[in-house]
Amino acid sequence: MRVSSRPGSAMAESPVAKRKREDNDGDATAPPGSEAVAGDFPLAELSVCKVLRDSAREKAIFLHGKVKSASGNGKDAVVILEKTPFQEENITKLLKKYTKLQLQMSNDIYSTYHLYLPPELNEIKTTVVYPASEKHIQKYLHQEVYLIQESGEDYTNITLPFIEAQSFSIQWVYNILEKKAEADRIIYENPDPINGFILIPDFKWNQKQLDDLYLIAICHCRGIKSLRDLTAEHLPLLQNILQEGKEAIEKRFNISGSQLRIYLHYRPSYYHLHVHFTALGYDAPGCSVERAHLLSDVIANLEGDSHYYQKRTITFALRADEPLLKKFQEAGRV
Ligand code: M7G
């Protein structure tokens, strides 16, 4: 399936161009200089300090590097390089316009080759976080993981104070809601300040093929941090996201609601309520049972009990180095 039937869909812009940081309030982890307007990233000047993670299965490598600044001290960056899925419409071009086909081995009827392609058929999706905080670097570092059973009380006593003190800046979310960034990428908007939301491609998706379709719905209402804050009063908002989100995706991408995985993360990285929409056939990062909560189940649970998510124990994984794990250990909860 192709995305290109959608007018003007396929233009991927520089991930940092246009992203503005005008106000850094509330970001306990933002490094100095992050309030600056981001421009095109000087990739050639990146000196790699460490490979944070290298995944042969995802065909992606996660790098921590430094970019020299005028003051001499390098600023930290996280750069993710990722080979993108094939686009069916490019296959004919690829078979006809390759630069070189080099035999690697041959045995009876079997042979393998290195196929070299011209640059336009050989792109690498590059995601940049710059300047990156220590927390960003830790986010992508491969670590052992441990399961935590967080009761409602644990949330109030351990997790909530922790996230209030140190969670990622959600300035990028406000930029989207205020149309200061990514405005041309919006797929659908319900502008109601209480029950409305914006549906936009996730920055994990290059929009060039539908196999790995990934969008997020970001609610207009501020202050709903996560699943834990949801009560029956939020049902109209959640129903709008489910219903209108599905309709908008069907209209734009011709994918029916029954072929979408629509879910919330608990715990999310960014504490402003948002919902993930991914292609059902795509094994998206973060769709595992210890993190993804289907929106339809969330709605059903809230219909049954308005305070379901304040009371219930929720299981999630924490990486070995995450300070929150230490807090749970200190409280004797692990
Ligand atoms: P999450 O569950 O809070 O955290 O989801 P995760 O990143 O650990 O999954 C936030 C979602 O927003 C993720 O799917 C991110 O890929 C996506 N995302 C993050 N940022 C900083 C941006 C951004 O600037 N633009 C867009 N469009 N998506 C983003």
CATH of the domain at 59: 3.30.200.40
The CB of 291 under 6 Å from ligand 1? The reply is: no
- Positive or negative, the CA dihedral 102, 105, 109, 110 is negative
Nearest CA to ligand 1 atom 14: 202
- pLDDT score of 310: 97
Give the highest mean pLDDT range of 116-120, 123-127, 307-311.
Answer: 307-311
Q: Give me the torsion for CA of 188, 191, 196, 198, rounded to 10°.
A: 30
In 3-state terms, what secondary structure has residue 162? helix
Domain extent for 235: 142-330
Question: Which of 104, 129, 154 lies at the terminal end of a domain, its last residue?
Answer: 129
What is the pTM assigned to this prediction?
0.80
Cis before 236 (ω within 30): no
**Do 168 and 296 reside in the same domain of the chain?**
yes
In a domain, 5, yes or no: no
Least confident among 37-46, 97-106, 111-120 = 37-46
Cα gap 137→149, rounded to integer Å: 26
6-30: average pLDDT? 35
Question: Which of 129, 161, 195 lies at the terminal end of a domain, its last residue?
Answer: 129
**Do 269 and 186 reside in the same domain of the chain?**
yes
- pLDDT score of 88: 87
- pLDDT score of 253: 97
The two tokens of residue 256 are: 């029916």
- pLDDT score of 37: 39
Decide if pLDDT at 259 tops 70: yes
- pLDDT score of 263: 98
The CB of 270 under 6 Å from ligand 1? The reply is: yes
Nearest CA to ligand 1 atom 24: 172
In a domain, 114, yes or no: yes
In a domain, 279, yes or no: yes
In a domain, 204, yes or no: yes
Residue 170 Cα to ligand 1 midpoint, Å, equals 10
In a domain, 1, yes or no: no
Q: φ, ψ for residue 312 (rounded to 5)?
A: -80, 155
Least confident among 132-136, 187-191, 215-219 = 132-136
CB contact at 8 A, 154 and 331: yes
Decide if pLDDT at 207 tops 80: yes
**Do 116 and 147 reside in the same domain of the chain?**
no
214-231: average pLDDT? 98
Decide if pLDDT at 16 tops 60: no
Q: Grade residue 68 by pLDDT with cuts at 50, 70 and 90.
A: confident
In a domain, 76, yes or no: yes
Least confident among 4-13, 215-224, 225-234, 308-317 = 4-13
**Do 59 and 208 reside in the same domain of the chain?**
no
How many domains does the chain divide into? 2
Least confident among 164-173, 211-220, 235-244, 270-279 = 164-173
156-171: average pLDDT? 92
**Do 21 and 67 reside in the same domain of the chain?**
yes
288-298: average pLDDT? 97
Top pLDDT among 271 and 30 is at 271
The CB of 172 under 6 Å from ligand 1? The reply is: yes
Q: Grade residue 135 by pLDDT with cuts at 50, 70 and 90.
A: confident
Pocket test for ligand 1, best of 58, 140, 203 (most atoms within 8 A of CB): 203
**Do 67 and 188 reside in the same domain of the chain?**
no
In a domain, 3, yes or no: no
Question: Which of 74, 105, 129 lies at the terminal end of a domain, its last residue?
Answer: 129
**Do 148 and 123 reside in the same domain of the chain?**
no
Which of 64, 136, 265, 274 is the catalytic position?
A: 274
158-179: average pLDDT? 93
